[in-house]
Every structure is written in structure tokens, then in C-alpha cells.
Structure 1
Amino acid sequence: KVPISLGSFKEESNRASDLSNLELKALEELKLLVSDAINKGLFSGASPSSAASISHQEASIWGVPLMKDDRTDAVLLKFLRARDFKVDESFAMLRNTMKWRSDFNVDELLREDLGQDPEKIVFMHGRDKDGHPVCYNVYGEFQNKDLYAKTFSDEEKRMRFLRWRIQFLERSIRNLDFNPGGINTMFQISDLKNSPGPSQKELRVTTRQALQILQDNYPELVAKQVFINVPWWYMVFYAMIISPFLTQRTKSKFVFSGPTSTAKTLFKYISPEQVPTMYGGLSVDLCECNPDFSMDDPATELAIKPSTKQTVEIIVNEKCTIVWELRVVGWEVGYSAEFLPESERGYTVIIEKARRMSPSDEPVVSNRFVVNEVGKILLIVNNPTPKRKQLLYRFKVLPI
């Protein structure tokens, strides 16, 4: 059985005013070390003899100039927290990171054209309930043998993919807010459905290399790491290959979810309107297929008990057009829609005849109805199964 969580992590404030006296003291000590290092040219690759020509502007990380404004606090706190506020260890980590960034030529990498982005493998989509941007990593795409060979078949291709992944991360980090109180961490989702197994040596080696880079040079940039569609073998792979490279603090951010509870797990942290339809939500890319709703339009969640019927009532008090969309994750339910006028002389209008919705049907049902009299629209979902179902819906009132 796949565990749901390996620990409990609560993200701390990045405001200096919220720090304890010991934490604030450590931050001030680290700032002195960083300022001295900048003056000596230790973060720029320059020699001490040319230190006088080095400005604070030249020493920057993730697009944040060090020791220039309050954003420096948020950056340095990440290194301090990664090393339990041990100042010397935090400074050593920062210095090593700055050297790695110089050796890896990260600033130039940002401007490099690495060809077509593998958008199906890694992409940003929406925000979680706390406002963190959400990054999806879809490892099942590597089941495609041509893509796998194109990405991992030799050292040059593996390094190119690694550089692309770092480029994508760096660009994503630059969209974060390092100001006091700003959101400067991401919510990571790793989809392991159809992911190649641990026997794929090339992927295993690249994964280990990427994890080492992230652990050493990108501290405290992830608020939560959720693994979905986790197969049984992955926990063994995680324990042997991944876990040894991670700190306990990092592992406390991890959540694991099996194939049958993807949507349920994601909805704990992300509102359904922000979750892509492929993962049980309502969000699709802006296109002609979804002109009425966006991620800014909130959805309502309802639980449907086994062998029960759930009716959503949309009260209408004026002439208008009602548009709605609705889904039940995994379907296996009956669905119908009708309009019931308030007047006793009116008659019920069948908007959508009752039909059985199967898992292979379209993930989201949408419709609209022009209302010319006071009444209510009823969206009826019948759950005949012995399983609890999750209903999502939202609607809008448009003038005629």
C-alpha cells in the first residue's frame, strides 16, 4: 500500500520580523559574510585585486541581486533553513551554489535556445490553495521509445535534457516573489503513471544527477512535493535511489498517492478549477472548447454517497442564460438536467435526457439554457455504485 505522506511540513514565513531572535541573529551574521564575499569578489569569479570594481548588482541568484534590497532575506533564509540555521554551513552552501552556477553557466543558459520544449513532460499550470504556482512532471511520457532514446540514449542527450530542465526551473523561479511576504516556493507534482521502471539505467542515472543538483543548489524552493499514480515498485526505487540524497526536512514535504486517489489527493491542496481535466479537475487550456470558464471561476465540490442521488439546484429569478459545466471523477453515474418553472401553470423542460456516464465518456459535461421565466435548473446525478463519488460543478448567469 502506498503511503499518503512521509511527514508533515509547514512553510515558514520569509519576513525578518517573524523570525526568532536566534534566527534573526543567524540571518544578520550570514548577511555580513555574504557582503564580505561580494566585496572580495568571491561570488563573481573576479580576483581580490579587482574587488573595487565589483558591485553588489553583479552578485545575484535566481534574478535577485544579493545585498541590494529586502529580497536578499528571502534568498538567504532558504540556505539557512536548509542547514538548520548553522551560519558557516549555510554560507558554504551558498558559496558552492554560486560556484556551480558559474561553472554551469546558468545565466547564459537562460538565453540559450535548446529547441522545442518537451511541454508534455514538464509544465506549469495554475496555483494551489495557498497561491503557489504548480509544476507538473509527467514521467509516463518517457514510455514513448523514440522520446526516451531522443532524451537519454547518450551522455550528450542526457546533458541537454538536464540543461533544459534547469533552464525551465530557473525561468519558473524568476516568476516567484522574493519580497517579504511574497510567494517564493512552488508546488511540485510528479505523475508516475506508466513511468519507465528502475531497470531503465539511463533514466535512473539522470534522475540521481538531477536530484543532487537540486538538493545542493536549489534549497527550499518547493513547498510541497506530491507524487501521484505511484506504482508499487516506486517506493522501493525511492528508498534505494532517491531517499539517500534527501534531507529529512525535504522528505517531510513529500506526499504519495496511488492510482485510485489522484483527484482526491490533489483537491486537498489545489482547487478543482485549477487542476487539469486529465487529473480530475475542470481546467483546460484557454481555447474554443471552453470559452465560458477559466481557472478564475470557482467550482463547488459535493460528495455523493453510494446508491444515492444528488441534485444541484440553480435558482433563476430573471430572464437570462445559464451556462454550466459538471463532472464526476471516474463517472459510473447517471446524469440529467431539467428546468422546473416556479409557476404552477408551467411545465418541466427536459434539457438533457438521463444518460449513463462511463469512465470513457468526456471528462466534463457543459451546457447552456436560455431561461424566460422564474424557476430553477436541476442538475441530477445518480450514483448507483457502492462507492463514494465526487461531484464538481460551476455555473454562470449571462444576460440575454
Structure 2
Amino acid sequence: MDSSSSPMSLQGLPEASPKPYKKSLVTALMEAATLRTPSFKEDTYFISHLKSSERKALQQLKDQLKASNSSECSVWGVSLLGGDEKADVILLKFLRARDFRVGDALNMLLKCLAWRKDFGADDIVEEDLGFKELEGVIAYMHGYDREGHPVCYNAYGVFKDKEMYERIFADEEKLKKFLRWRVQVLERGIKLLHFKPGGVNSIIQVTDLKDMPRRELRLASNQILNLFQDNYPEMVARKIFINVPWYFSLLYSMFSPFLTQRTKSKFVISKEGNAVETLYKFVRPEDIPVQYGGLCRPVDLQNGPPKPASEFTVKGGEKVNIQIEGIEAGATITWDIVVGGWDLEYSAEFVPNAEGSYIIAVEKARKMRASEEAIHNSFTSKEAGKLVLSVDNSGSRRKKVAAYRYIVRKCSNTD
């Protein structure tokens, strides 16, 4: 099949271009937000990879934790005094969060254990908190990135609706319940981690800032941030911000000096209009929700691991034809196709093998809007031939990422 395939790179975002002599305030702020330190390199947690001072700090933390006589010495189902590799992974997370200062790490760990007992965090995954309307909308675990990390999506734009906001945050009691639900989502993600040297020991966070009401969510956002920072050290490998408005750049430039290089190296900041291209760098299209330019619909998650997709790019001014050949008479072909930020023409036709047969317009050529989700369609052939999917980007100069997949089910003879 002809798809002009070129897989997306997993490298970091492009380097910032040289600064011109003058630029507007908004441009300067946007650049401040997109300048990044070298991409975060996740720790392997192999003891043999530690410096001698770090191994010493790990042993000291174990000794001091044992001497503390804490009534709670297990977290996420792992006994911290068990002496196994899972315990080492968790203890190293607390040490790294405090730059291997043993006293500070111990204090953080003991406070976390006390909070988890008081909060009931160990059993929270099984609770029904009554937020069915928020599941799959506000904060939810969905698929994995290219390296196997579970991905948590966050989108608070629905709270621009005052009625929705009042229903969730009208008083302190409702806010506490929402925070409890948000911790529940994170705990579900943590249950997917290995806590094993060389394994997947952290998650990816994708935060959609589109339509996010700033003032209204400030209190909730601050409390969520504080809870996570205090009790979930080194649980996030990368923080991807998409649909970033210009004012986020102002906030980032203000707080950036107070962030560690380690924290900033985890950030990926993508302005409005670049969400799909950014996500494709880190997550395969079959694992990305359709609302973010991927191929995954909620119903797909009920059928096991998603069928892999083929990725390709459509250059500016280019038309790409994807030919799916070898379709037999009576066979049914089902396909999905998406182009990030569409804004181009799409069509599908069936071309019979037999000379003199007519080409069938399965989907007539039409302009796809940027807001449209992935195409999902099927066609049953009456004769042998091929399906041709066309995407015509000749009216644009911008290169776009795209993906497709298909299944052909042959006709079953019941005679």
C-alpha cells in the first residue's frame, strides 16, 4: 500500500529559533514557555546505577524508617521494610524528591504515610464517589505512551459552564469530595505501575488548557497540586500541556525561576493548534482519544489492546492516496483514518480489478474541518478490487501528521 509513511520522532520539541532584535511582549512570553531544558531522562532504579553516596542514603533511610517505629510502613501494597526491589524503588522516589537529603526524605515519607491513613487512600479506588458524569471527561487514565507509561488526561474546560461549576465546587464539602475523586483517578494510574528496576514506574500527564476558567479553579488546582507534590513524589515522567493560551506563558515565566531544572525538564508545552502533532511525538495514534486527533474511542477500550495504526505525514501542497489492495468479492473492509487538524479534503473509493467495472465512490470528496474526529467506516465489496483513501492537502502549506488502520473480513461461505 502506498502511504508515504514516515513515523513521528520521539525526540524532544525543536530548539527555539534565534531571537530577533525586537519582539512583542506576547511573543517573548510564548518563547519563555516553550524554551525547555534537555528532555527528562527517567531513572532506571537499578541499585548498581546509583552513586555510592546515593546507595548510602538509601540504606540510611531504611535504617531511620525502621527506627521511627511508624505504625504504617507500607504504601501502594508494598512493605517499605521488606527489603525487596519494590521497596527500594519507592524509597528512592522520596529520596530523589528531596535531593537525597535523608532527613527531609524521611519526614516527607512519614507525613505521606500519615496522610494516606487519615485520607483512606489505600481503599479509595473501590469507592463510588458519585462522579460518573466526570469520568472520561475531566480526569481519566487512557492508554499508554510509546514507552509504556500509563497516560492521564486532564481537561477542565467544562467548568466554564457555571451550572457545572456550582454543582461540583459550590461549597467546601463538594470541593473535598472532588479532591477525593481526583486522588482516586491518580491511584488507579499508580496501580498500573511496576515499581521494579527497569520497569514502568511513573505516569504521563496530559493537561488540556482549552477554555479552562482560571480564577474559578485556582483553589482546586492549588489543592490538587499540593496533594500530589507532598504525597506522590516522582510519579510523573512527563507533563504535557496542550492548547496553551498566551496567558499561560506569563504565568510560566513568573514561576519558572522557582522550579527545579529536573521539574522543568519534564514539561512539554504546546500552544493552541499544535496538540495533535505534540501528542503524536509521545503517544501512538491508536492510544490517543479521538477528541485529541487519535483513533481511540471509548468503546475500543472494551475490546482489549487497540489494533496498531500506520502513521504518515501529509506535506503542504501534497495529496496522499492510501491503497488497500487484495480485497476479495464479498469481503467487508472496516477502516479508521485521521489527519491532525484536518482542514483538507478527504474521500474514499473502491476500484474493481475487472476492466470495464465502475469505480464506486464510497465516501464523496468533502472538506474536513479541524474540529472533526477520526473517520470510521466500512464497505462490503461485490467484486474483487482495492480501496483508495485520499487526503488532499494541496490548499495548505502546513505539514500534518496522520494515521490509519483497517481490517478486512473475508466472506464466509455457509453452503
Q: TM-score range by the shorter chain?
A: 0.7 to 0.9
The alpha carbon displacement at 1:375 in A equals 4.3
Which stretch has the larger CA shift, 309-318 or 220-229?
Answer: 309-318
The alpha carbon displacement at 1:212 in A equals 1.8
Alignment identity in percent? 44
Q: Which of 26, 39, 43 is matched with 1:12 structurally?
A: 43
The alpha carbon displacement at 1:139 in A equals 1.2
- Name 1:49's counterpart in structure 2: none
Which stretch has the larger CA shift, 218-227 or 381-390?
Answer: 381-390
What is the one-letter code of the residue matched to 2:282? Y
- Name 1:160's counterpart in structure 2: 177
The structure-2 alpha-carbon separation of the partners of 1:339 and 1:239, relative to structure 1 and needing over 3 Å to count, comes to: same
Which stretch has the larger CA shift, 223-232 or 204-213?
Answer: 204-213
Q: Is the 8 A contact 1:325 1:394 kept in 2?
A: yes
2:403 is aligned with 1:392:
yes
Q: Deviations over 1:83-105 (max 9, x none)?
A: 22232322222122223323434
Correspondence list, 1:284-363, <5 A: 284-286=297-299, 296-316=306-326, 320-342=331-353, 345=355, 347-359=357-369, 362-363=372-373
Q: Deviations over 1:162-200 (max 9, x none)?
A: 222223222331232213333121110111110002x33
* TM-score of the aligned structures, taking structure 1 as reference length: 0.84
Q: Is the 8 A contact 2:323 2:387 kept in 1?
A: yes
Secondary structure of 1:193's aligned partner: coil
The alpha carbon displacement at 1:254 in A equals 1.0
Which stretch has the larger CA shift, 96-105 or 142-151?
Answer: 96-105
The alpha carbon displacement at 1:36 in A equals 2.8
Correspondence list, 1:1-400, <5 A: 1=27, 2=30, 3-4=33-34, 6-7=36-37, 8-37=39-68, 40=69, 42=70, 44=71, 59-68=73-82, 69-107=84-122, 109-110=124-125, 112-117=127-132, 118-119=134-135, 120-197=137-214, 199-200=215-216, 203-240=217-254, 246-286=259-299, 296-316=306-326, 320-342=331-353, 345=355, 347-359=357-369, 362-371=372-381, 375-386=385-396, 387-400=398-411
**Alpha-carbon distance in 2 for matches of 1:174, 1:29:** 28
**Alpha-carbon distance in 1 for matches of 2:175, 2:380:** 56
**Alpha-carbon distance in 2 for matches of 1:360, 1:221:** 34
Unaligned runs of 5+ in 2: 1-26
**Alpha-carbon distance in 1 for matches of 2:127, 2:314:** 51
The alpha carbon displacement at 1:305 in A equals 1.8
The structure-2 alpha-carbon separation of the partners of 1:171 and 1:297, relative to structure 1 and needing over 3 Å to count, comes to: closer
The alpha carbon displacement at 1:362 in A equals 4.7
The alpha carbon displacement at 1:360 in A equals 6.8
Unaligned runs of 5+ in 1: 45-57
The alpha carbon displacement at 1:243 in A equals 5.2
The structure-2 alpha-carbon separation of the partners of 1:108 and 1:276, relative to structure 1 and needing over 3 Å to count, comes to: closer
The structure-2 alpha-carbon separation of the partners of 1:393 and 1:142, relative to structure 1 and needing over 3 Å to count, comes to: same
What is the one-letter code of the residue matched to 1:75? I
**Alpha-carbon distance in 1 for matches of 2:402, 2:126:** 45
Secondary structure of 2:238's aligned partner: strand
**Alpha-carbon distance in 2 for matches of 1:60, 1:101:** 10
* TM-score of the aligned structures, taking structure 2 as reference length: 0.82
The structure-2 alpha-carbon separation of the partners of 1:76 and 1:225, relative to structure 1 and needing over 3 Å to count, comes to: same
**Alpha-carbon distance in 2 for matches of 1:364, 1:103:** 45
Secondary structure of 2:299's aligned partner: coil
Q: Is the 8 A contact 1:286 1:294 kept in 2?
A: no
The structure-2 alpha-carbon separation of the partners of 1:167 and 1:341, relative to structure 1 and needing over 3 Å to count, comes to: closer
The alpha carbon displacement at 1:260 in A equals 0.6
Q: Is the 8 A contact 1:79 1:90 kept in 2?
A: yes
Secondary structure of 2:274's aligned partner: helix
**Alpha-carbon distance in 2 for matches of 1:157, 1:375:** 59
**Alpha-carbon distance in 2 for matches of 1:171, 1:63:** 13
**Alpha-carbon distance in 1 for matches of 2:104, 2:371:** 55
- Name 1:52's counterpart in structure 2: none
The alpha carbon displacement at 1:231 in A equals 0.9
The alpha carbon displacement at 1:214 in A equals 1.4
**Alpha-carbon distance in 1 for matches of 2:178, 2:379:** 49
Greater RCO, CA 8 A, separation 6+: 2
The alpha carbon displacement at 1:17 in A equals 3.4
RMSD: 2.7
The structure-2 alpha-carbon separation of the partners of 1:205 and 1:365, relative to structure 1 and needing over 3 Å to count, comes to: closer
**Alpha-carbon distance in 1 for matches of 2:48, 2:341:** 47
Which stretch has the larger CA shift, 19-28 or 91-100?
Answer: 19-28
**Alpha-carbon distance in 1 for matches of 2:371, 2:122:** 47
Secondary structure of 1:297's aligned partner: coil
What is the one-letter code of the residue matched to 1:25? K
**Alpha-carbon distance in 1 for matches of 2:150, 2:243:** 21
**Alpha-carbon distance in 1 for matches of 2:279, 2:379:** 32
The structure-2 alpha-carbon separation of the partners of 1:111 and 1:278, relative to structure 1 and needing over 3 Å to count, comes to: closer
**Alpha-carbon distance in 2 for matches of 1:175, 1:214:** 17
Which stretch has the larger CA shift, 176-185 or 269-278?
Answer: 176-185
- Name 1:51's counterpart in structure 2: none
The structure-2 alpha-carbon separation of the partners of 1:196 and 1:15, relative to structure 1 and needing over 3 Å to count, comes to: same
